[in-house]
Amino acid sequence: MPASALTGTRIREHRLAQKMRQADLARDAGISASYLNLIEHNRRRIAGKVLADIARVLGVEASSLAEGAERSVIEAIQTAAAEAPGFDASAASAEDVASRYPDWARLIADQRARITQLEHSVNTLTDRLAHDPFLTDALHEVISSVTSIRSSSSILSSDEPIEPDWQKRFQQNIFNDSRRLAESAQSLASYLEGTSGETANAGTPLEDCFGALQAAEYHFSALESPDANAETVAAIVGQAALSSDAARAILRSNLERYLSLAQSMPMAAFADVSSVLADPVSYARHIGQPLANVLQRLSYLPQEVVGQPIGLVQCDAAGALVARKPIKGFDVPRIGSACSLWPVYASWSRMGMPIKSLIQQDGQGRPALIAYTATTEVIPASFERACVYEAVMLVRYAQSGEVQSTPQLVGATCRVCAISDCPARREPSVLGSLRSSAPDDGL
Amino acid sequence: MTGVQAKVLLIEDEPNISEALTFVLARDGHDVRTHSDGLTALDAIKDYGPDIIVLDVMLPNRSGFDILADLRASDFAPQTPVLMLTARGQKKDRDMAIDAGASRFMTKPFANDDVRQAINALLRQTGNHA
């Protein structure tokens, strides 16, 4: 209900309480009776002089007529003024601003609310960095390893003589600490990019939604039932530990998509998942479904049905990740852009043509992966607007017989990628340059 | 030997850091003893009676700040100089260390020579050595 509606009702209430006729109030306030009638029935906005005149005739404060939503605007302006360092509010009171410039006042109130929300997000992220136990432990581990390496190596490199036994001992310490440093740095990088199970509560609605999906291991048995419907989705959303309406809206959208896929491809249709994973294109053709739908549906099946971990990412045409299901050995960035060498991005230049790739993510001991990529039409084209597409990429571990060539080396995101000569690098890595990218031999 | 011979108690839970510092300080002629647990650190101080303590902040079972606060309030070694080692070098961490009674504050990763010089300077200031 707009603010003026409350004001009009309140004027009418005051007038009737004083047994005053509408025509009398209108005359004394210098307006027509028909105009006052519109105001009282909340069909005209009222502010400034007219509001002040009516308030004078009724013998009340103008601000008391503006209680309700307008009051909240006034309070928001007062708070904004109080919080602005050095701002001199003596020129005009918040009531004056709200009554003379109601639209500007509402804009100030809305922007203050937005600033408050952003400050909350910043504080959440700062708090996460400062108090996240995993981050604290990981950083302590890194710094301890570096300290030990520095201390031991400076002993070895000094000019003072050192006995062979001590020399050997410190060399061994450096070796052990170097290995420990590599592991803790990799663990830290993985955590920052969002693959650790110890995910802290997120700062954005999208992250919040991803957290809820991860907590459910990307499977909702209630949605697999033939009786599942929108109420089932609403019940799951209602029970999810989400901190904002925006996160709930994103989760609802994801689950509605899940329900649609589950209804068109019931779990029973995946009796032989290993065959589907070996050739999803043939299977999609066989059941008459778009490949992208089959890939998405596979990612929602429980691991006991699939028999192996399945990862999935989905991006919009701008490259933003709108769905993410990482698996061990394939990191998906929590924030920011992913590696542009991922086959999912190549699909934009091969619309309608599925891609099968052999890839391996940069990092020690990472497995070779098979990636299937397809584009899908999210919103069909019309005369009014162009089609909206998304691209889907499923990843699974490559079987030994499938690694016939050198996998294409990819990263997670540039910031934590150590590929030294990557032509697609956007920014320097914090890890330094350690490895060269392998040629793309394809399959 | 570059410094004053003294009894140094190194309270640090990372064995390789302890080993390297022990080697360096012993080579300077100090008598170095190590301890790695926060909960029993005060007992170790009482038992050994060090001239100076090198104290890590993040220890198992008890923080170095708490140990230091108790030490300053104790009746057995309230004035013993303490060099604190921490992985965090922010101002608030320095302030916490100083508030707790640290004589010096050093951020990891440190250079061995910096630790040696800090210890020798503290020993000279206090005249608290063997």
Indicate which of A135, A136, A147 best probes the interface with B, i.e. most B CBs within 10 Å of its own CB: A147
Q: Name the residue in chain A with its Cα closest to that of B106.
A: A147
Indicate which of A131, A135, A144, A149 best probes the interface with B, i.e. most B CBs within 10 Å of its own CB: A144
**Domains of chain B: total:** 1
Q: What angle do CA B113, B116, B121 make, to 5 degrees?
A: 125
- How far B76 CA sits from the closest chain A CA (Å)? 31
Residue A381 has a CB neighbour count (10 Å cut-off) of: 10
CB A340 within 8 A of CB A333: no
The C-alpha atoms of residue A51 and residue A31 are separated, in whole angstroms, by: 11
Cβ of A43 under 8 Å from any chain B Cβ?
A: no
Q: Name the residue in chain A with its Cα closest to that of B89.
A: A143
Distances (CA, A) of B83 to A156, A312, B37, B54, B98: 24, 51, 17, 5, 10
Cβ of A172 under 8 Å from any chain B Cβ?
A: no
Name the band, by pLDDT with cuts 50, 70 and 90, for residue A68.
low
ipTM > 0.95 for the complex: no
Write out chain B residues lying below 8 Å of A140, CB-based: 58, 87
The C-alpha atoms of residue A92 and residue A75 are separated, in whole angstroms, by: 14
Domain A3-115 part of CATH 3.40.50.10470: no
The pLDDT of residue A260 is 94
Of B20, B21, B87, the CB nearest to A143: B87
The pLDDT of residue A434 is 44
Query: For residue B53, is it within any domain?
Result: yes
CA-based torsion, A75, A80, A85, A90: positive or negative:
negative
CA-based torsion, A117, A121, A124, A127: positive or negative:
negative
Mean per-residue pLDDT, A189-207: 59
pLDDT of A128 higher than 70: no
- Contact A151/B113, CB-based, under 8 Å? no
- How far A394 CA sits from the closest chain B CA (Å)? 41
Write out chain B residues lying below 8 Å of A152, CB-based: 16, 19-20
Of A160, A170, A176, the CB nearest to B20: A170
Of A150, A169, A170, the CB nearest to B109: A150
Among A64-78, A340-354, B4-18, where is mean pLDDT lowest?
A64-78
Of A148, A150, A166, the CB nearest to B14: A148
CB A332 within 8 A of CB A193: yes
pLDDT of A194 higher than 60: no
- How far B118 CA sits from the closest chain A CA (Å)? 15
pLDDT of B129 higher than 80: no
pLDDT of B64 higher than 80: yes
Query: For residue B2, is it within any domain?
Result: no
Angle of helix A3-17 versus helix A69-83 axis, rounded to 10: 120
Query: For residue B87, is it within any domain?
Result: yes
- Contact B108/A152, CB-based, under 8 Å? no
The pLDDT of residue A436 is 46
The C-alpha atoms of residue A46 and residue A6 are separated, in whole angstroms, by: 11
Query: For residue B110, is it within any domain?
Result: yes
**Across the strands, what pairs with A419?**
A435
Domain A303-443 part of CATH 3.40.50: no
pLDDT of A89 higher than 90: no
CB A371 within 8 A of CB A343: yes
Distances (CA, A) of A294 to A219, A268, A281, A317, B65: 15, 14, 9, 20, 57
Instruction: Please indicate whether residue A42 or residue A12 has the higher confidence score (pLDDT).
Output: A12
- Contact A152/B111, CB-based, under 8 Å? no
Cβ of A159 under 8 Å from any chain B Cβ?
A: no
pLDDT of A176 higher than 80: yes
pLDDT of B4 higher than 60: no
Query: For residue B129, is it within any domain?
Result: no
Query: For residue B62, is it within any domain?
Result: yes
Write out chain B residues lying below 8 Å of A151, CB-based: 16-17, 20-21, 24, 109-110, 112
Distances (CA, A) of A269 to A275, A287, A289, A307, A368: 12, 9, 12, 15, 28
Structure letter (DSSP) for residue A372:
E
Please list, residue by residue across A78-100, b when 16 or more beta carbons sit within 10 angstroms of its beta carbon and e when fewer do: bebbeeeeeeeeeeeebbebbbe
- Contact B24/A155, CB-based, under 8 Å? yes
Write out the residues of chain B at the interface with chain A, using a CB-CB cutoff of 8 A.
Answer: 14, 16-17, 19-21, 23-24, 27, 58, 87, 108-113
What's the number of CA atoms in the CB half-sphere (13 Å) around residue A333? 19
CATH number where B112 lies: 3.40.50.2300
With H, G, I as helix, E, B as strand and everything else as coil, classify residue A23. helix
The pLDDT of residue A443 is 33
Of B20, B109, B110, the CB nearest to A155: B20
- Contact A150/B27, CB-based, under 8 Å? no
- Contact A151/B58, CB-based, under 8 Å? no
pLDDT of A406 higher than 70: yes
- Contact A147/B14, CB-based, under 8 Å? yes
Query: For residue B95, is it within any domain?
Result: yes
The dihedrals phi and psi of A396, each to the nearest 5 degrees, come to -145, 160
Q: Name the residue in chain B with its Cα closest to that of A153.
A: B20
- Domain assignment of residue B112, given as a range: 7-124
Write out chain B residues lying below 8 Å of A154, CB-based: 111-113
Mean per-residue pLDDT, A319-332: 88
DSSP result, A104-135 = HHHHHHHHHHHHHHHHHHHHHHHHHHHH-HHH
Give the range with max mean pLDDT: A4-8, A117-121, B37-41, B94-98.
Answer: B37-41
**A253, A258, A263, A267 alpha-carbon torsion, rounded to 10°:** -170
CB A409 within 8 A of CB A163: no
pLDDT of A169 higher than 70: yes
Cβ of A140 under 8 Å from any chain B Cβ?
A: yes
The C-alpha atoms of residue A173 and residue B20 are separated, in whole angstroms, by: 9
The dihedrals phi and psi of A311, each to the nearest 5 degrees, come to -110, 160
Write out chain B residues lying below 8 Å of A148, CB-based: 14, 16-17, 20
Q: Report the DSSP pairing between strands B31-35 and A388-397.
A: unpaired
Contacts of B99 (CB under 8 A, 6+ apart): none
- Contact A177/B16, CB-based, under 8 Å? yes
**Closest by CA position to B23, among listed A15, A238, A327, A154:** A154
Take residue B34 and report the two structure tokens written for it: 């190590």
Question: Residues A99-122: pLDDT tens digits?
Answer: 777 788 888 888 888 887 777 777
The pLDDT of residue A13 is 86
A-B CB pairs within 8 A amount to 55
Instruction: Please indicate whether residue A121 or residue A210 has the higher confidence score (pLDDT).
Output: A210
Write out chain A residues lying below 8 Å of B56, CB-based: none
Query: For residue B17, is it within any domain?
Result: yes
